[in-house]
Structure 1
């Protein structure tokens, strides 16, 4: 048996995995990363030239009393250095911003890709507001990592060493002070970083929970008002907001505490350099054969705080790193973790096997299927087989709860079977219209054009007529241009299903999987819909889950669950 790694090793492995994930997000912007790091390092290196120019001018003016006319070249060089540092700083910020933008775009693409991989059945069980936070709060969390932490991390490894080398060339004592006090900063950062990452993760979790809670309540606002739950939900939102406030204040306390302590160490170190130079000038301390010149002292004093400046900036952006690692943990939890018990019921075998086009091969062949809905504790369909030929109309019947919708979801490719095999003829397009089609906020025409954005108005009206959408749309203020709410707010369940059916017809698939399209319809509308479907789907295969007797009569064959049927 393999040994389980101890918690400390597991945490290190997780942190390393998250760092690799963060690095991969910016893979498309490696060049901009190098530009940002190089610009930051060059700007830091010019600090030495800037301090040297200022110190030389102080020595020349105050000690050597040189005329200002002789100092013009040095003033010009100092101005050039200042302008160069300003330009390099702007370049570093621009390049780092582009890296952050590329990383956020990669995060969005990765989230969308994983959501598509999870499929609509998994999405139904999630809180859309919490998933939305993956693209909002979590995207903002990783922005600081790329725009702030990464350029400073490279700067810390280069600029302090250049400063120490320059100072050691002038006065080794000052360089020794800097070398002895400098390691205190990263040591303290590591201690603080452990708590900062945990606090940042808790804050992101609270933000995601509050975002999901608020978004879900907004969607159900009408129902909450209907049942008089408005005040209770306001109290719930207040509790969620208080949780965010507490977590945010905890993060800020850690940030302020770490910044205060780091500033203290840096100030004490600079004060030690100033004390050494002051005592040397007063003749109370002699560590060299000669007293350092004024220019040398100014040079060291100017560079002493700059030695700690990258370390202080790293400490500031270290919280960005902690937040980014926390965001990586949350992304992994929401997209990869899920419900282990639920995921355990959904194996991932090879679901859809393209078949070579043959003259007599069925469009779709299902053999010995074993199906279990996501989250269910037992199989609802066992040993189900079915062949569907081109132009065939089948009615799938069975009592409520027998698994009709589950069969359609499996044949549509949404639900991997736990056993058996689904073979689809090569090139066959399958369309599925469920009982609860998702309708976006927008006009009815906009929702139909999701299937074909370039569809003409005439074709749009044709599929709307076939699906009996025009029966109610003609009575709306603007017809198909009437705006409806998210999830079909303002429409009945039957009207929403007909829009979903029209959208499927506009896609023009070879095989239509319809889940009770005639439910909630009056007999006249149902008869008209079946007649339109017969004309519109001529030459195409239709599998319709239904309880309706007219729909069973409309079909060429009735398929009952738990019976093995071959066409």
Structure 2
């Protein structure tokens, strides 16, 4: 399911957007409904037992202090009080554990949805994003919603049930105190609502600033070697310091709002409790009499004990209301990074489905490109118009043309990365396509680990054989640990040609029906290029290869050459 649907950001749809964000937050915890109910029942059960606890304490004070009952005779009530305290402690632990499970489930669902959305965007979209900022979607934004499920949701149930139970119990013994509770309670949620608007806006700004700082810092770390090479290390410290200062300012603003709201809410709750104490004190002093008889000491203690507990769920809700604001801010940031990117595409850039997989005749071409118009993502003009091509089984095709003619764009379209603006690409049912680009992503780890991404269960013998075919062993055998040599992220420590050969070997492990190769022989010396093409011809015998290239040797290696001119029209030509 999508993270959030596309909702316009206008004043008329703000309420609808807020409701949609809350529904999305609720859907994240759909897999932990039973744990949510368990947490709610535990919280409400603890609140109900609180009334019994207050009643037991009030009875003990009335009996022992006023009525002079022997402590031994009050033994059963002491036992009941101890049991209630133990059960409430167990229920509190149970509620925290269940709420924690709900939060873990929601965080996992969030990260799963974000990851799925990133996969749907595809590698071309990801190339233009800041990886550090996207990483915050899986880390900081996940942590931002944890308090919503572990804190706000259980308290939201508690604030509906427990104060009503306390109000009913207090009304049974003293209706005046119940009226004080009833008229002072709305002050807390009213102020909480006012503060919540500012808290959400501040939380959204803080999360956005944190994501930008993370992206800035991660990008600089990845390019640290280049920055040092050009002597820009000290200059970049100023940019990092400025980004960190922005996070500090935003964080302090959030904390100021939190502390201010908590102080005011505590003030209102304290004043309300003081009003109850004042009323009871005036009654005991004989200065006020709203009842036929003066309330007993036990009655007064019962009301006083429950007075702070009546406002406690409201105070806790106010404290966790910032968790709700942070969760809504996180939802808004997820929407901004993963949804609005789509809405920014103009109407004239609406594109059709990338690839059609159809059951075609047995001897028909395995891939048919029918009058497609292609435009690289982010470009403002088409590079190919009306381009057609039939690819049959077992062919070796060379795609040639000057730089900018659209060779890489054609391969990306055939790989399913780039949907055509017009026309269509038909792939015969069951055909598996593999693509090795000019810039394969290599992770920090050994060369062998990077190869095993294509097939984690590959045997060492096959791994070695594929590395020989792709000419990886041409340079790996000279490394300290061969294929077990550790390389840096994005292939740090390798040349561009060496990284491409690892990408090619990774593709060979996948063993697709159609190999799409983008400049696999670039940066190679003539002998290594010939060795690579000879080994590739042997390894892919019976398979189809479409190779974008500038090399004469690769063109002679191919059965057919497809030439893309520099203009928008394309034609094909066969090698003599």
Return the TM-score normalized by structure 1. 0.98
Instruction: Determine whether 1:109 maps to 2:112.
Output: yes
Distance in structure 1 (CA, Å) of the matches to 2:348 and 2:548: 24
RMSD: 1.4
Aligned twin of 2:558: 555
C-alpha deviation, 1:12, in angstroms = 1.1
For residues 369-420 of structure 1, give each alpha carbon's deviation from its aligned partner in whole angstroms, at most 9, with x where no partner exists: 1011111001111111111111100000111000100000000000011011
C-alpha deviation, 1:355, in angstroms = 2.4
Q: Secondary structure at the match of 1:318?
A: helix
Whether the 8 Å CA contact 2:354–2:417 is kept in 1: the answer is no
- Aligned positions of 1:481-492 closer than 5 A: 481-492=484-495
Instruction: Determine whether 1:278 maps to 2:278.
Output: no
Aligned twin of 2:235: 232
Whether the 8 Å CA contact 1:443–1:483 is kept in 2: the answer is yes
Aligned twin of 1:411: 414
C-alpha deviation, 1:545, in angstroms = 0.5
Whether the 8 Å CA contact 1:387–1:565 is kept in 2: the answer is no
Aligned twin of 1:524: 527
CA pair 413-464 structure 1, distance change in 2 beyond 3 A: same
Aligned twin of 2:440: 437
Q: Secondary structure at the match of 1:400?
A: coil
Distance in structure 1 (CA, Å) of the matches to 2:214 and 2:158: 37
Instruction: Determine whether 1:501 maps to 2:504.
Output: yes
Instruction: Determine whether 1:73 maps to 2:80.
Output: no
Q: Secondary structure at the match of 1:70?
A: coil
Q: Secondary structure at the match of 1:370?
A: strand
CA pair 57-169 structure 1, distance change in 2 beyond 3 A: same
Instruction: Determine whether 1:540 maps to 2:543.
Output: yes
Instruction: Determine whether 1:451 maps to 2:454.
Output: yes
For residues 420-454 of structure 1, give each alpha carbon's deviation from its aligned partner in whole angstroms, at most 9, with x where no partner exists: 11111111110000000000000000000111101
- Aligned positions of 1:241-252 closer than 5 A: 241-252=244-255
C-alpha deviation, 1:11, in angstroms = 1.6
Aligned twin of 1:332: 335
Distance in structure 2 (CA, Å) of the matches to 1:11 and 1:27: 25
Whether the 8 Å CA contact 1:346–1:416 is kept in 2: the answer is no
Distance in structure 2 (CA, Å) of the matches to 1:429 and 1:6: 41
C-alpha deviation, 1:347, in angstroms = 3.0
Please, which of 472, 476, 497 is the counterpart of residue 473 of structure 1?
A: 476
Distance in structure 2 (CA, Å) of the matches to 1:6 and 1:90: 41
Aligned twin of 2:393: 390
Distance in structure 2 (CA, Å) of the matches to 1:189 and 1:328: 21
Whether the 8 Å CA contact 2:415–2:434 is kept in 1: the answer is yes
Whether the 8 Å CA contact 2:562–2:573 is kept in 1: the answer is no
For residues 503-524 of structure 1, give each alpha carbon's deviation from its aligned partner in whole angstroms, at most 9, with x where no partner exists: 0001100000000101111100
Aligned twin of 2:129: 126
C-alpha deviation, 1:348, in angstroms = 4.1
Please, which of 188, 204, 222 is the counterpart of residue 191 of structure 2?
A: 188
Distance in structure 2 (CA, Å) of the matches to 1:486 and 1:545: 26
CA pair 566-6 structure 1, distance change in 2 beyond 3 A: closer
Aligned twin of 1:304: 307
Please, which of 128, 140, 158 is the counterpart of residue 161 of structure 2?
A: 158
Whether the 8 Å CA contact 2:384–2:570 is kept in 1: the answer is no
For residues 240-276 of structure 1, give each alpha carbon's deviation from its aligned partner in whole angstroms, at most 9, with x where no partner exists: 1110010001000100000000000000000000000
CA pair 563-243 structure 1, distance change in 2 beyond 3 A: closer
C-alpha deviation, 1:358, in angstroms = 3.0
Whether the 8 Å CA contact 2:351–2:422 is kept in 1: the answer is no
Please, which of 199, 209, 213 is the counterpart of residue 212 of structure 2?
A: 209
Instruction: Determine whether 1:48 maps to 2:66.
Output: no
Return the TM-score normalized by structure 2. 0.96
Whether the 8 Å CA contact 1:552–1:558 is kept in 2: the answer is yes
Distance in structure 2 (CA, Å) of the matches to 1:191 and 1:138: 24
Please, which of 309, 316, 320 is the counterpart of residue 317 of structure 1?
A: 320
C-alpha deviation, 1:354, in angstroms = 1.7
For residues 120-171 of structure 1, give each alpha carbon's deviation from its aligned partner in whole angstroms, at most 9, with x where no partner exists: 0000000000000001110110000000000000100000000000000000
Distance in structure 2 (CA, Å) of the matches to 1:341 and 1:195: 28
Would you say how many aligned residue pairs link Structure 1 and Structure 2? 564
CA pair 339-353 structure 1, distance change in 2 beyond 3 A: closer
Aligned twin of 2:517: 514
C-alpha deviation, 1:346, in angstroms = 5.0
Whether the 8 Å CA contact 2:447–2:485 is kept in 1: the answer is yes
Q: Secondary structure at the match of 1:374?
A: coil
